[in-house]
Amino acid sequence: MADYVTFYGASRAAYNFEINPLGIAYHPRPGVYIFMRPTLGGWQALYVGETGDFNDRLNTGLQRHHRWPSVLPHNPTHIGTLHVPGALQARLDIETDLRRALNCPCNRQ
């Protein structure tokens, strides 16, 4: 049975992410993801992103991820994934909502 964590966006919408360790294979589904690590109080979100293919972005293509070099020093151990079917705009809306609320260190420009 999968583990889940809920993150809240700036809109106060709740998003339930499936928690997986780094390095696992994913189905080629679209969605929003969060690089994260455990803390004493739960989970720290390090980076929020979106993709059209979880497996390409988070498994086979992880080393090509444009922000991976800035995420790695923060010691990510897990990835949270939220399947978001449909158009790109739906993923971008959720990603933006979460970025505004979570203030992830690796999303800062």
SS3 of the chain: helix, strand, coil, percent, to 5 = 30, 35, 35
Three-class HEC string of 36-73: EEEECCEEEEEEEEEECCHHHHHHHCHHHCCCHHHHHH
Per the structure, the complete domain to which residue 27 belongs is given by: 1-42
Task: For residue 50, tell me if it sits in a domain.
Answer: no
Taking alpha carbons only, the member of 46, 96, 50 closest to residue 71 is 46
Q: Is 81 within 8 Å of 58 (Cβ atoms)?
A: yes
Does 56 have pLDDT greater than 70? yes
**pLDDT band with cut points at 50, 70 and 90 for residue 61:** confident
* Residue 25: alpha-carbon gap to chain centroid: 15
Mean pLDDT across the stretch 10-36? 95
Residue 60 pLDDT > 90, yes or no? no
Number of domains the chain contains: 1
Residue 13 belongs to a domain: yes
Q: Is residue 91 part of a domain?
A: no
Structure tokens at 31: 């969605």
